[in-house]
Structure formats: C-alpha cells, structure tokens
Amino acid sequence: MYGGEFDGNAAFAGGGFMPSQATTQAHDSSSSLKNRDVRTLLPLTLKQLSSASTTGESNFSIDGVDINTVAIVGRISRMENRITQVEFVVDDGTGWVDCVRWCQERQETEEMEAVKLGMYVRLHGHLKIFQGKRSVNVFSIRPVTDFNEIVHHFTECMYVHMYNTKLRGGSITQATTTPRPQMPYSTMPTPAKPYQTGPSNQFPNQFNDPMHGVKQTVLNYLNQPMHLVSEAGVHCDIIARDLRIPLPQVKDALEQLSNDGCIYSTMDETCFKSTANA
C-alpha cells in the first residue's frame, strides 16, 4: 500500500498493513526513493503533511520517503462549489489543509455530489505547494460511513511512521518518536489548529442533520481561545464574514446552538458566546 505502483481500487477497499511493499524498490536500488516515477501512497495526518520537507513545488518527503500520493481522512469544514472545480478544507484534528477537486468528467461530478459540508471523508491526492501554501489536488474522494475507519487511519499513520523511522534498517534519524495523534473529536486547541470538531456523538448525526456541518463550524469558531476570553461575544455578521458562510445559515445555526445550550446571546440576539468556559 505504501510503495510501488498505486492501485486506487485496492487502496479504497481497505485491508491490513503491508509494510513490505513500502520498500520493495528500496531493496532493489539505494537510489530508488529518489525516483520520481515511483508512485508512493502514504497515509498521513495533516500535522505530518504540514511538517513534510520540500525541495520545490511538488517534491516532498517525510521520514526519508518521497511523497507522491497521500491518503487523508478528515472532516470537511469549508466547501465552495465553482464552475469546474470544488474547493474545500479538510480538518483531521491535527491540522487542516486546502483541497481542490477538478470536476471535468461526469464521474468526478457525481463523486463530489456525494460529499457534503461537515462529512468525514477519505481522499487520495497529490500534495502541492504554491507561494508557500500547501494544498492537495484530489483525484479520489468518498464519504466515511464507519467511524472505525477514522481510528484505523490514525493507527495506520503511526504504523507507517514507525516502520519508516525505526524498522526499515534503522538508517533514518529524521524522527525518533511517534507523535500522538489527536482524535478528530478532540475539543482541545492545538498550535496547528486553534479549535477542533465537537463531541464524538456527532458522527452518526451528520448524515441526518443538514445543518450539522454549519453548526459545528460556527461552534468551533466560537470556541477559539480569543473568543472564549471575550466578554462581549462575537457579532453574527462577523461570524458570517470570517467563516464565509451566508448570514441566514449562520443565524439558523446560532439559534439551534443556543437552543442546545452550547452558546448564549450577550447582546440583543446579535452577539454570541460559547458556554465552554461559562
């Protein structure tokens, strides 16, 4: 799964760990990892993706392995449909990344129609960098229907990291410890992402509540440290502007969050504050 010729069907079908494939070419030639024709699929957290070293706009490596194709599992926290592509942000609890899916064929369009704001997804794509900003050019994406797949992905990321840094001959010293991945439902702020997604019981509801994604995004925004310490709260117009979500949707989300006891109004039903530190 982690090296050799990339098989999209096999990758999306699931399965166990196959570390021997990660170094098939490595045993054949000492310079094989530098061969850009080898298509390597690596499961990564977004924290790992952001820390990958680069020597150009498309040459990345982590743990001594060149990155060509990445596998990511996370929640869509922002989404914008355009004429020929869909631009969205994926957040996995350790960080976030901008993604783009070009929709020039019918199959590509139908694939994106199955993906909604707030859903957890599994995607494969190419890591790019432009003007210092990293993004993923997605060529395959699907909704996650089993929460266990999220846990499996994080476990897989740890396993591959350990294999590449400790078990593959011991010659790589770039990383010596395995970072502890934060679960996507963690509410603790991190340097990579100042706010995270909500409680773990959100997963079964996201397919039934059309407002789930918007509500969670608004709540995440209000749970940022700078808003938690503010006594006045945040005006709904500012929330809509910063999140680039239509104001009516923001107001609906604020009303539902208020009814759920997650937030409260501080001024004339226009400024709101999270109850997280109340």
Domain 41-145: CATH superfamily, name plus number? Nucleic acid-binding proteins (2.40.50.140)
Write out pLDDT tens, residues 186-210.
333 444 443 333 433 434 444 455 6
Write out pLDDT tens, residues 96-118.
999 999 988 888 888 888 999 98
Instruction: Please answer whether residues 8 and 124 qualify as being in contact, where contact means their C-beta atoms are separated by less than 8 angstroms.
Output: yes
Instruction: Please answer whether residues 118 and 213 qualify as being in contact, where contact means their C-beta atoms are separated by less than 8 angstroms.
Output: yes
Half-sphere exposure of 131 (CA within 13 A, CB side): 0
State the pTM of this model. 0.51
* Cα end-to-end distance, the chain, whole Å: 47
Per-residue pLDDT, 46: 92
Indicate whether 84 pLDDT > 50. Answer: yes
- 97: tokens are 């990344």
Q: How far is CA 104 from CA 85, 124, 219, in A?
A: 8, 17, 35
Nearest residue to 213 via CA among 146, 123, 116: 116
- Composition of the chain by helix, strand, coil, percent to 5: 35, 25, 40
Distance separating alpha carbons of residues 278 and 276, to the nearest angstrom: 6
Residues 6+ apart with CB under 8 A from 84: 102, 103, 104
Burial of 61 (0-12, 13-18, 19+ CB in 10 A): middle
Write out pLDDT tens, residues 210-229.
667 788 889 888 888 888 88
211-274 to CATH, choices 3.90.1200.10, 1.10.3720.10, 1.10.10.10, 3.40.830.10:
1.10.10.10
Distance of CA 121 to the CA centre of its chain: 8
Question: Among 70-84, 136-150, 175-189, 224-238, which is the least confidently predicted range?
Answer: 175-189
Residues 6+ apart with CB under 8 A from 234: 221, 222, 227, 271, 272, 273
The structural domains of the chain, with segments of one domain joined by +, span 41-145, 211-274
Tell me the average pLDDT of the chain: 74
Instruction: Please answer whether residues 155 and 181 qualify as being in contact, where contact means their C-beta atoms are separated by less than 8 angstroms.
Output: no
The H or E element that residue 65 is part of is strand 65-67
Instruction: Please answer whether residues 91 and 136 qualify as being in contact, where contact means their C-beta atoms are separated by less than 8 angstroms.
Output: no
